[in-house]
Structure 1
Amino acid sequence: MGRRALTILPLLWVAMLSGGAAAVMQSLPYDYSSSAECLPEPLEPQYGGGILRNANFSAGLQGWSAFGHGAVEEGASASGNSYGVARNRTRPYQSVSQKVYLQNDTHYTLSGQSTELLRLPVSNGSADIRAVVKTDGDFVHAGVVEARSGCWSILKGGLTAPASGAAELYFESNTTADIWVDSASLQPFSREEWAAHHSAAIKSARKKAVRLRARGSAGEPVPGAHVRIEHVRSGFPLGSAMGAEILRSPAYQRWFASRFTVATFENEMKWSSTERLRGREDYSVPDAMLRFARSHGIAVRGHNVFWDQPGQQPAWVRSLPYRQLLQATARRIRSVMSRYAGQVVAWDVVNENLHFRFFEDRFGRDASAELYRKAHQMDGQALVSMNEFNTLEWPGDPKAGPSKYLGKLFQIKEFPGNTNDARMAIGLQGHFSVPSIPYIRAALDTLSRANAPIWLTEIDVAPGPNQAYHLEQILREVYAHPAVHGIILWTARHRQGCYVMCLTDNNFQNLPTGDVVDRLIAEWKTHSHAGVADADGYYEAELFHGDYKVTVSHPAANSTVVQSLSVDRETDPDTEFTIHV
């Protein structure tokens, strides 16, 4: 991948209430830039280092110290760049560190070129390096990167301060390799600033300014034409998992179809469901679910062709010898993908292939890549996606951090025959307990460097008194991120409940989580626009992406025209939509 230019939001302004009067403060823009490259030299610290002193080590080790009774030295490259080095490490936590003071209820971005982004080359091979913030009584994981020897890797992460007080930023690794640190940054953002970033990103990534022009039968402008714009369907894919029970419940069907534009079948398309017994395939249930979805204009993600977890294979598959397993996998991919090719928008080809390796252990390192090659051949239209957990949920999981995810993605894309990069997608499950909102944004920043559509595929939140609050935080964060192309909630409803999180009770009355979803659906749509065209026949409106019904009435002639309008990411803001009345 080549170098990417920094992507920084324009200057933001945040309205604050002070003593009943509205005060306006300047808000620091958020820097979405990151990198998946191995860099020869570190970049400049994002935000000038934020609250960190001597972020680029230009003043030697001033402000920095050794954590965990280790040895810290100043290093310098041949070009004269200075950095900190933790040497002779015998414990995972021995590293370079800096003491800071955190403010309660404040989001912090960590980087070494943008709040919590650090260049961490290691002395040989590669190593997983985690950023940790030690607070009073806790150790908060803020990010992880697979750092490679001989170049600088960027770790971007974040955390929300649990309380005001002294803290210490340090790095840990389970190897004893030297850790080099440079261009560090820890930038605070208030909740109001963070929300302002959302507003600015939504305006840029989810809306378009549209210019309509009313013209008469001879092409002349029609000043004073009455214009009404009604939002018919959202252009952003927001959906939920569904189970087979939806086929037996008209109430479930009405509830689902009135809200969602995309669905994933919870289990019904999986190998263990369609071929429980060897050679006896049964697609009757997913066939019926697909008919229901299509009858309501609901797109479907194909979940999944294979699952890399050994325990999730059909029982008869697990003990097959090599050649029979090879034949069985070939039949499976041919069977399910030929049946539904052209009818689904994406395929989770090999589920959870960062945490598990059933097929890699049986067929070799490139097993997933080979299956993706076959998937590309079987369905030439749908996205083919990885689908993994803990990439967003937990900064401390070294198996699924953003850099590990991208490493696997690039391995698949670079495999011979996988040349259609445009159809490769990133699937992130999103099974959360207490989310780290700054880390979610930072991880998405890094993943966006792949230039692949990002989907949140299985969002849920563990039960608890703050479940609905956390769900709203997560949905607002991922919807606002420019790289996210769709969201699926993992909320298939069963009589006995849901996998982790339900949106309704058994009577399809909303729970607090369902209220959150309905409120956001309403917020993320354009409410009816009505007005009058100007002297040149123009009418302008800012619209969320989606499908619209536009009604234009001539002020003099007794004529009204109704026309459809679609607005999406690709809509040219300079396009003039002409309506003849």
Structure 2
Amino acid sequence: MCPGKAGEARASIRVAGREKGQVERNGCKQAILLKQRGDGHWAMVLNRRVHDNQETDYNQLVLTLLSDGNLCLSFNFSKSQFLFQCLAEPLKPQYRGGIISNPEFNRGIQEWSAFGSGNVEQRTSRTGNKYLVFSRSGRIPYLSVSKKVLLQKEKLYTFSAWLQTDDGFADVVAVFKAGGKLIHAGAIEARSGCWSMLKGGLSVDVTGPAELLFESNATAAEIWVDSISLQPFTEEEWRSHQTQTVQQARMRVVRLKVVDANGTILPNTTISIKLQRPSFPFGCAITQSILTNSAYQYWFTSRFTVTTFENEMKWYSTEKYQGKEDYYYADAMVAFSKQHGIAVRGHNIFWDDPKYQMGWVTSLSYAQLKYATTKRLNSIVSRYKGQLIAWDVVNENLHFNFFEQRLGQSFSGDAFIQARQIDPGTYMFLNEYNTLEQPGDPASTPDKYLQKFWEIQRYTKNSVKMAIGLEAHFNQPNIPFMRAALDKLAGAKVPIWLTEVDVQNQNQAQYLESILREAFSHPAVKGIVIWAGWHPQGCNRMCLTDNNFRNLPTGDVVDKLIKGWRSDTVVGTTDSNGIFEAQLFHGEHEVKVLRSPGGYLTVNELETVSHGDGKTHVIVV
């Protein structure tokens, strides 16, 4: 505490959220069921509720012999259940199917038909569950079961369906044919032997009829469908949900009690609270141009609390020529960020895209490349150890595999382990694109991302502080799908960041606002970085300002949101019990106390703010 102006006492308080208790699910209620099929092989069915009689403890696993002769393998499923949510029977459709009639096919194939050549039929499982099966006679991915619906322009639709295939694995994409376009609503890897939930959504540009299809690359396989749901929401309903979750996840009611040095409560005392620094990291990429441009420096530092260097830490920037490392710009940018209290994300240690490898790297032998990658990781992580808040350890390795192809499939896991050994306190990210942006990209669906994420985490034996990095390079965003994807990824129970947000579209500002609002309102999202580093010759895909650092419409959106995500100065008076309450965004706030019985009371000293009963901050004046 320190005194302020005459009659004014100042204090600082930190408003933080509370982590909810996590319930661990153990035993056979969340389990792997090993079920013997008719062909004599064992099928693995996950997340099914099973019961029984004989249990054998085996190294933290419980193997249960069921009365029907099947086996139940159970363990702590709090993480793995989100990776393989594959059930013996599908759950009921969300929202009772919404506007989808006959969503569980209890009335046969009524209102459903085949799109293109093929056969549609209803089947019934041994437990009595009815579902739809489509088999194709051609090799066209869009040949599938079809359902006609009416979609409205001003609505946002959540979509879900349960899918299975009769053999192996099949990537399945939900597609709506509307307004002359094919709109992807979500994707899943369907499996044989159990049902997987596809969760997504969509919105449309024009009101009119639409046709639901299921696209699959497994054109020779049967696709089974059940429990389909399509639920509309108005824009007001969607925004209301955002507002509610922001209040729950980003804000907290703070209770202040003002007393004098003798402990006497001070009613009718004026108190003001001003946010000094928000706790939610919201930032923008920067380039080396910021080092010599004061206008760029002012514009950036007056807005953001975190940054990523666009290129300056990448391998092709720090070691363009083999053996000649150059960290000049990266060092200077780290120093600049520290000077202005800006947190830095390290981007990136390795980029798996072959087109971004230097010629000298691509020409190395196995042994030489192994040495070079080890040297690269040790060099950059050691140099900035303890100075950064995150490392993008491996970039885009759901789409590319340059290093894995040459050094083995364990390359990514080894990189995470080595980075953690050098810089153990820093979050290590798996950074990827199209997980939020493109529902139709089967390489990086939320399920595929989680599969890769847990593969690395298992390899590292949970020794690394891992986090989820979603690049978020959008063209036209699908906001309902974005929410569904974040919901699924949130099951990993690790921080999620949008790491490189930009939009390339004529409605750039409007879409940017929609994306940022959706991300900020999701409780699992712990930080956002916009990908709009300034270059004199122009930005990459999106700029926030012109070359004189006057805001473009996208910059105005950012300023509007920053203002909305930071509490205005709150002024009020304590009640008869000396209490004042205010709802504040999480962050560091300056508190000023004024007393004016006929004039201002000069406060010479103020004690440190303490937590009284755990809910009330006690301010002594």
Q: TM-score normalised to the size of structure 1?
A: 0.89
Q: For 1:386, what is the secondary structure of its paired residue?
A: strand
Report the Cα offset of residue 463 of structure 1: 4.7
Cα distance change of structure 1 residues 221 and 78 upon mapping to structure 2, 3 Å threshold: farther
Q: Secondary structure at the match of 1:316?
A: helix
Say which is worse superposed, 258-267 or 97-106, in terms of deviation: 97-106
Residue identity in the other structure for 2:493: N
Relative to 1, partners in 2 of residues 1:184 and 1:234: Cα closer, same or farther, differing over 3 Å? Answer: same
1:531 to 2:597 alignment: no
Match of 2:319?
275
Deviation, structure 1 residue 555: 5.3
Given the alignment, which residue of 456, 459, 463 partners 2:501?
459
Please tell me whether the aligned partners of residues 231 and 546 of structure 1 are also in contact (alpha carbons under 8 angstroms). Answer: yes
Q: Which residue of 2 aligns with 1:57?
A: 105
Check conservation: 2:100, 2:149, Cα contact below 8 A.
yes
Residue 45 in structure 1 maps to residue 87 in structure 2: no
Within the candidate set 445, 448, 464, 2:487 is matched to: 445
CA contact (8 A) 1:388 1:429 kept: yes
CA offset at residue 530 of structure 1? 0.7
The answer to whether the Cα contact below 8 Å between 1:58 and 1:82 also exists between their aligned partners in 2 is yes
- Cα shift at 1:218: 2.5
Give the match's secondary structure for 2:441. Answer: coil
| Aligned mates of 2:588, 2:461 — CA distance in 1 | 34
**Residue in 1 aligned with 2:78?**
none
1:428: how far off? Answer: 0.7
Given the alignment of the two structures, is residue 147 of structure 1 paired with residue 190 of structure 2, yes or no?
A: yes
Question: Is it true that 1:383 corresponds to 2:427 in the alignment?
Answer: yes
CA offset at residue 554 of structure 1? 4.2
Query: Which one of 300, 306, 319 corresponds to residue 256 of structure 1?
Result: 300
Contact kept? 1:108, 1:161, Cα under 8 Å: no
Post-superposition offset of 1:574: 5.9
CA distance in 2, matches of 1:270, 1:526: 37
Out of 393, 416, 427, the residue aligned to residue 349 of structure 1 is 393
Match of residue 331, structure 2, among 271, 287, 306: 287
Q: Match of 1:82, as an amino acid?
A: K
Query: Structure 2 CA distance, aligned partners of 1:35 and 1:97?
Result: 29
* Contact 1:549/1:562 (8 A) holds in 2: no
Q: Which digits, 9 at most, give the CA deviation of each residue in 1:174-229, with x for residues without a partner?
A: 10221111111100111111111111111111111111111221223222222110
Is residue 612–residue 618 contact of structure 2 (8 Å, CA) maintained in 1?
Answer: no
Matched position secondary structure for 1:146: strand
- 3-state secondary structure, aligned to 1:201: helix
Contact 2:272-2:570 within 8 A present in 1 as well: yes
Does residue 331 (structure 1) correspond to residue 379 (structure 2)? The answer is: no
CA deviations over 1:500-555 (Å, ceiling 9, x no partner): 11111111111111111111101111001111111111111000111100112345
Matched residue SS, 2:142? coil
Give me the identity figure in percent. Answer: 51
Instruction: In structure 1, list runs of 5 or more residues that go unmatched.
Output: 5-33, 112-117
Q: What residue number does 2:556 align with?
A: 515
Query: Which of 154, 165, 172 is 2:215 aligned to?
Result: 172
1:92 to 137, 141, 145: 141
Q: CA RMSD in A?
A: 2.1
Partner in structure 2 of residue 541 of structure 1: 582
Select the residue among 269, 273, 278 that pairs with 1:229: 273
Which amino acid in the other structure matches residue 210 of structure 2?
A
Does the 8 A contact of 1:224 with 1:555 survive in 2?
Answer: no
> Where do 1:422-437 residues align within 5 Å?
423-437=465-479
2-side partners of 1:554 and 1:43: how far apart? 61
Deviation at 1:56, TM superposition (A): 2.2
Partner in structure 2 of residue 190 of structure 1: 234
Unpaired runs of at least 5, structure 2: 1-23, 31-80
Distance 2:221 2:458 in 1: 29
Question: Does structure 1 residue 478 correspond to structure 2 residue 492?
Answer: no
CA 391–563 in structure 1, closer or farther in 2 if over 3 Å, else same: farther
State how far apart, in whole Å, the 1-side matches of 2:210 and 2:102 are. Answer: 17
Pair member with larger Rg: 2
Distance 2:371 2:546 in 1: 44
1:35, distance to aligned residue in structure 2 (A): 4.9
Deviations 1:154-193 (A, max 9, x none): 1111111221111111211010221111111100111111
* AA in 1 matched with 2:120: V
Higher relative contact order (CA 8 A, sep 6+): 2
CA distance, structure 1, for counterparts of residue 129 and residue 408 of structure 2: 42
